[in-house]
Amino acid sequence: LAVQPVSLTYSRVDGVPIGRHLRPFYAWYGDMDLLSHAADLVGLGRLTVTVSFHPPVTIDDFDSRKALARHCYEQITRSHSDALSGRIQPMVGTSGKWDWIRWRLRPRLNDLKGLRRAKKGFASPREKRASARVDSKTAKA
């Protein structure tokens, strides 16, 4: 049986490195629903993803499944660390048919911090301005 470890690293949003405070928005863990999580990712900004294909190994090269799992874990962890630190430079390609994503309104960092607590979704700046206008009109009346 051949196994090829593959690692995905989300390293930048709109060209800015992702810090520890933003990683929970991009990590898929626990009992999270994949589709709703992927839908949230689309609205967070232009994402740089580093995909690393590690050398394939066979189970015959190891004494047990645990040794194979440990080897794969170490390779993926090392690759993830290298990608986050900038030692792996991602290949940049053209976005092709998905080029429309760049024109979507993106949340500001303060919106992301509020989302972590509220989990209600993002309001675009246009929606925020519209709600502020409505609030100011009702305050005058």
Tokens of 30: 């626990």
Task: Write the pLDDT tens digit of every residue in 60-102.
Answer: 999 999 999 999 999 999 988 888 887 765 555 555 444 443 4
Q: What is the pLDDT of residue 41?
A: 80
- In whole angstroms, what is the distance from residue 135 CA to residue 59 CA? 64
Count Cβ atoms within 10 A of the Cβ of residue 45 and give its class: 0-12 exposed, 13-18 middle, 19 or more buried: buried
- In whole angstroms, what is the distance from residue 108 CA to residue 4 CA? 38
Q: What is the pLDDT of residue 35?
A: 86
